[in-house]
């Protein structure tokens, strides 16, 4: 990769890592489901009027919008609101690679090779170690919700691979339109109109900056830049930079939020990142049946 593109890939990883700290700050202003709804509303508007018509079937946009936008981010934000630390969330969420590989084995008929299978095992050990650390630094419910969010991310990754969008930014902007109304409805139902209205009335520059960051910087810029890199270089050259996300996430959480990083968490980080690296880049063996197209590899972007 050219140096300028290497720097861009690192910048995107940093943007996505810091995003967890921004979410943590945003949860001090908004209920979690309302914050998630606002994030997708601002990301979709006005961008949807400039990216052109959808370039894949609506069933894929609706499927990814539900799995990624409603389920994954709804669970992630709720888990963090329940007390899951930002840095630990950025780390645990990377287990999505294991869920993606497991689902791909069933849906895309990709048998994990020995390297990928070993990576899945190592990453699961890392999750167990992270669970031990999470039990001492956050509630079990928050940890469980973030793991569930990672599973939903795995579902959205498999759906995205089936959709094979030719334009990542176009696809992501249209996906952002799907969760807006369902998340607003869930917020009204579960968090209450009084709480939502109070949060909106108390909106200040800090809250607006949070929404701007998670919508425009993390979502529109992040996915747009990532898609640009994937169009210029093989996924195997771009995807490794996503492993920097928990590094930036844990570091920024320690610097900005004062989160302590214990030896147990560092061990979990080494196991998880190492396992995810093996899982993501180990060779899969597709099961080819008559009339079925071969599965193709894709890089899973970060949040």
Tell me the C-alpha distance between 151 and 145, whole Å: 10
- Is residue 110 helix, strand or coil? strand
Residues (pLDDT < 70) of the chain are: 134-138, 235-236, 280-303
Q: pLDDT value at position 290?
A: 44
Q: pLDDT value at position 171?
A: 92
The closest alpha carbon to 219, from 172, 184, 177, 183, belongs to: 172
Q: pLDDT value at position 279?
A: 72
Q: pLDDT value at position 280?
A: 65
Q: pLDDT value at position 169?
A: 87
User: Would you say residue 16 lies in a domain?
Assistant: yes
DSSP letter, residue 295: P
Q: pLDDT value at position 107?
A: 83
Cα dihedral 101, 105, 110, 115, rounded to 10, equals: 50
User: Would you say residue 286 lies in a domain?
Assistant: no
Q: pLDDT value at position 241?
A: 80
- Is residue 284 helix, strand or coil? strand
User: Would you say residue 118 lies in a domain?
Assistant: no
Q: pLDDT value at position 102?
A: 86
User: Would you say residue 120 lies in a domain?
Assistant: no
User: Would you say residue 170 lies in a domain?
Assistant: yes
**pLDDT one-digit tens code per residue, 81-95:** 999 999 889 988 988
128: which residues sit within 8 A by CB, 6+ positions away?
none
User: Would you say residue 288 lies in a domain?
Assistant: no
User: Would you say residue 187 lies in a domain?
Assistant: yes
Q: pLDDT value at position 284?
A: 55
Residue 172 belongs to domain spanning: 3-94+139-250
Tell me the C-alpha distance between 73 and 179, whole Å: 10
Residues in the chain: 303
User: Would you say residue 99 lies in a domain?
Assistant: no
Domain count, the chain: 1
Tell me the C-alpha distance between 133 and 149, whole Å: 19
Residue 287: enclosing H or E segment and its boundaries?
Answer: none
Tell me the C-alpha distance between 204 and 4, whole Å: 36
Q: pLDDT value at position 281?
A: 66
């Amino acid at each position: 990769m050219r140096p300028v593109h290497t720097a861009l890939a690192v910048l995107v990883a940093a943007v996505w890592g810091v995003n967890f700290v921004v979410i943590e700050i945003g949860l001090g202003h908004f209920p979690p489901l309302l914050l998630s709804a606002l994030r997708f509303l601002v990301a979709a508007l006005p961008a949807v009027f400039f990216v052109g018509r959808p370039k894949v079937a609506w069933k894929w946009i609706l499927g990814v919008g539900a799995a990624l936008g409603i389920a994954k981010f709804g669970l992630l934000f709720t888990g963090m609101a329940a007390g899951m630390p930002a840095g630990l969330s950025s780390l645990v969420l990377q287990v999505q690679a294991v869920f993606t590989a497991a689902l791909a084995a069933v849906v895309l008929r990709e048998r994990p090779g020995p390297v990928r299978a070993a990576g899945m095992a190592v990453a699961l050990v890392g999750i167990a170690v992270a669970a031990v650390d999470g039990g001492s630094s956050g509630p079990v419910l928050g940890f469980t919700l973030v793991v569930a969010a990672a599973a939903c991310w795995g579902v959205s990754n498999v759906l995205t691979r089936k959709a094979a969008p030719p334009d990542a930014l176009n696809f992501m902007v249209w996906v952002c339109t799907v969760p807006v109304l369902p998340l607003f409805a869930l917020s009204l139902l579960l968090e209450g109109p009084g709480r939502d209205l109070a949060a909106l009335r108390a909106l200040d520059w800090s809250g607006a900056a949070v929404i701007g960051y998670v919508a425009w910087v993390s979502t529109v810029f992040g996915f747009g830049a990532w898609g640009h890199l994937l169009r210029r270089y093989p996924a195997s050259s771009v995807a490794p930079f996503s492993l920097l996300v928990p590094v930036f996430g844990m570091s920024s959480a320690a610097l900005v939020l004062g989160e302590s990083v214990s030896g147990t968490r560092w061990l979990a980080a080494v196991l998880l990142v190492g396992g995810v690296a093996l899982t993501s880049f180990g060779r899969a063996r597709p099961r080819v049946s008559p009339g079925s197209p071969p599965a193709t590899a894709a890089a899973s972007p970060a949040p």
